[in-house]
Amino acid sequence: MTFEVTILGNSSARPTANKHHAAHVLNVREQFFLIDCGEGTQAQLMRYGIAPARIRAIFISHLHGDHLYGLFPLLSTLNLLGRKTPLPLFAPEPLGELLANVFRRLETELSYEIQYTPVDTRKNCKIFENKTMEVWTIPLRHRVPAAGYLFREKEPELNVRKTAIETYGLGVVQIVAAKRGEAITLPDGRLLPNEALTYRPYAPRSYAYCSDTLYSAKVARIVQGVDLLYHEATYAMAEKALARQRGHSTTLQAAKVASMAGADKLLIGHFSSRYKDESLLETEARTLFPNTFIACEGKTFSIPLKRLQPEE
């Protein structure tokens, strides 16, 4: 029941052999989701032991080169690997058109279908869903249309308390109804509210990716209660004016969003190249939100499943 994000790259500066542009991979129970795709992402996937062929869907936050120049070569490699499975791709317009144009001019015919969905960056809506999870857009405020993404496990089916089954002598039909969240009427006419019969087996986990963006209170409302929040912090608090001018956030603004959202843990990154000692940015964010960490390239942040017990 894995739920973890691996940082493939997280730099806003010029890429070097050990510093790559934005790309995060979220592993939700062995389904892999790629978020942003800076240059060199496919090599980074290999370096950290994630087969590119396993990518289930791709989410691009905005159309700046440092967040997408690795996409053309990654999609080409999936073609060389003979991928047949369609690949859902979510990004603001006009990425679909841009991709089609590049591949047409390079006479690249893909072996698989790219299922491109343009993202409306002004809306907070569900864009992807399967049995275990869903993905919601987060409107960001940047120099170009930009969206963050909130990944959430679905609510699990309820567990029925053993003590309730025994006490009330529940049959199969009643147990199935209780698992669906329904109340039960006993043969003697007593109504048992669902809460008296069931409990959540575990708390669904969530990860939010917010880059690039100005500080936004709306973001904090949308990601309310998130377990792990990645929020860009391109600048230190001293450069607040510059951050605003360039459509970016400071360390303290990222921490403020995490704090307002009641997040469990905050990851910061996309640091300007002016900061030689990035640990100072971590320290700064921790003054407001202590559970802050740098989204270091190559690091994996796991959210363990918290199994819940019924309150007796």
Point out which residues bind a second copy (CB under 8 A): 14-17, 20-21, 39-40, 42-44, 46-47, 52, 63-66, 69-70, 72-73, 76-77, 80-81, 94, 97-98, 101-102, 105-108, 144
Q: Which is nearer to a second copy, 60 or 178 (CB)?
A: 60
Determine contact, residues 37/50, Cβ cutoff 8 Å.
Answer: no
Q: Which is nearer to a second copy, 111 or 283 (CB)?
A: 111
Q: Which is nearer to a second copy, 106 or 125 (CB)?
A: 106
Local structure of 217: helix, strand or coil: helix
d(CA 52, CA 206): 23
Minimum CB separation from a second copy for residue 280, in Å? 23
Nearest to 254 by CA among 274, 275, 276, 281: 281
Nearest to 207 by CA among 33, 66, 13: 33
Minimum CB separation from a second copy for residue 37, in Å? 11
59 by Cβ neighbours in 10 Å (0-12 / 13-18 / 19+) ranks as buried
Q: Which is nearer to a second copy, 143 or 307 (CB)?
A: 143
Minimum CB separation from a second copy for residue 217, in Å? 27
Minimum CB separation from a second copy for residue 202, in Å? 36
Beta bridge partners of 89: 58, 116
Local structure of 297: helix, strand or coil: coil
Q: Which is nearer to a second copy, 46 or 125 (CB)?
A: 46
Per-residue buried b or exposed e for 260-296, using 16+ beta carbons within 10 Å of the residue's own CB: ebebebbbbbbbbeebeeeeebbebbbebbeebbbbe
Choosing from 66, 120, 188, 212, the catalytic residue is 66
66 is catalytic: yes
Minimum CB separation from a second copy for residue 257, in Å? 26
Nearest to 243 by CA among 142, 149, 121: 142
Minimum CB separation from a second copy for residue 242, in Å? 16
d(CA 240, CA 251): 9
Minimum CB separation from a second copy for residue 198, in Å? 49
Local structure of 60: helix, strand or coil: coil
d(CA 184, CA 177): 8
Q: Which is nearer to a second copy, 101 or 167 (CB)?
A: 101
Q: Which is nearer to a second copy, 19 or 56 (CB)?
A: 19
Per-residue buried b or exposed e for 7-38, using 16+ beta carbons within 10 Å of the residue's own CB: bbbbbbeebeeeebbbbbbbbbeebbbbbbbb
Residues with a catalytic annotation lie at: 66
